[in-house]
Amino acid sequence: MKPLLLAGLCLSLCLSLCLSPYSSQAQTQATTLQELVENGQLQLRSWIEPAANIVVGQEIQLTIEVSTQRWFAGGTTIRYPDEKNLIILRRDSFANNLSRSEGAITWVIQRWNLELYPQAEGTYHLPAISLELSVNDAVAGVVRGSLATEPIEFEVEVPPALENVENWLATPTLTLQHEIDRETDALVPGDAFTRQITLRATHITAMMLPPVKSDEITGLPAYAETPQLRDTSNRGEATAERRQSITYVVEQAGQYLLPEQVFYWWDTSSRELKTAVLPELRIDAGIAASSSTSNESAPGGAHIWDTLPLSWLVTVLLGFCLGTGLLLWRRRPQRVSEARLLRQVGRALRGGDNQRAARLLYRWLNVFQPQPDWYRLRAALNREAGEAAAAQVDVLLANAYGTGASGQILLPLLTTVQPIPPRWWRRCCRKLFLQPVELKLNPDDIAVE
């Protein structure tokens, strides 16, 4: 019995002496993260998708995966590199946590996703990305430190179909929608309408979606609101949206045209060049609204004036001018001739109506004698018929507004005061340019023969 016990003690001592170097080695391996990697207890790898046939502006998914056989003891910090013509974004604030079994070993995994957007063609050398992390080791406890990924190299190209295109988007899907809050075929000056344009694309950021041009048109100013940008993610698929509202105010009557806008995009799934078109928009305001309605009835949408011959247009124009001239002629002020006015004076004198005769003589003075002394009837008669006729003014005024002799003595005056017909060219100029001088102090005094 004693020999067996002694043999067991010897065997235990030999095993402890043999295993002691390995125990001390395990404790030293857990002091740094790099030693855990070399010991196979920690793994770090990275890759990009897609790895080839990358187009300028296309989204590249960079995945960084950290695996440990134990568990993570703290947060992970990623230091982004700074590469020329390369935009690096991280949509998710947290890593995807998952596990993987390999035989009897279970790995705990942190997976980080970064989005890369190359802005120019050429070869890109993505440098190593540094990560600050901490893991729990079976022997040494929590081990903290930094690890770096392997550098990645990839090519970015411009397909031949895009060589003559100035701006484009690289995305699997792109949709364009536009809405108008009211009809634009019956507007009047002072009205306003709003056009809302929405662009949506996948696997791209909202800041890369192109803006919609708000063309400045005389008589139709545009007021663009601040665009609304939104990035969303659903089950790993990122969607970008740009919503822009433009308000147009009609300041002048007329017909306006907002031209169409074409947005080019490269379908990364089918590798084809496609377009999204914002259609043109016609606006009819004021008098243009009725002409727009007639345009729609014309065959092929042609303008109504294009369907009429030139002779019809000239005939319509002459008819309009003739009708306008006739209307103005009929609405012209009626002129009172000097001979008719003097005949009315004589008729009033023969009838014994001296007050009417006096008023008509003053009317004759005001209308047909516009000299500086037009307000002096006696001076005007003296100039036109002599002193004898001028002296009879006192008799007329005495008969009209006081007591005096009969007004019949003024009849010879009418034979000396006769209108002098103007020359033919003066008559034409008077009819064309001169306006009649009608004071109309007593419009009922002048009788129509």
What is the DSSP annotation of 385-413? H-HHHHHHHHHHHHHHHS--S-GGGGHHH
Q: Per-residue pLDDT for 142 more than 60?
A: yes
Q: Cis peptide before 50, with omega less than 30 degrees from 0?
A: yes
Residue 373 reports pLDDT greater than 80: no
Apex 261 CA angle, 257 and 265, nearest 5: 170
305 or 244, greater pLDDT:
244
Average pLDDT for 59-77: 90
Whether pLDDT at 9 is above 90? no
Higher pLDDT, 234 or 202: 202
Rounded-to-integer distance, Cα 345 and Cα 446, Å: 9
Two tokens, residue 283 = 């606006």
What's the whole-number average pLDDT of the chain? 77
Look at residue 266 in the predicted model and tell me its pLDDT.
96
pLDDT at 79: 87
Tell me what pLDDT residue 32 has: 86
**Residue 185's pLDDT is what?**
86
Mean pLDDT of 149-164: 93
Res 339: pLDDT: 75
> Percent of the chain scored above 70 by pLDDT?
70
Picking from 10-14, 282-286, 339-343, which range would have the lowest pLDDT averaged per residue?
10-14
Q: Which of 36, 22, 19, 21 is nearest to 141 (CA)?
A: 36
Report the Cα 308 to chain-centroid distance in Å: 36
Sorting pLDDT into bands at 50, 70 and 90, what band is 299? Answer: very low
Higher pLDDT: 275 or 348? It is 275
Q: Given this model, what pLDDT does residue 179 score?
A: 93
Per-residue model confidence as pLDDT tens digits over 311-355: 777 888 888 888 888 777 666 555 667 777 777 877 887 777 877
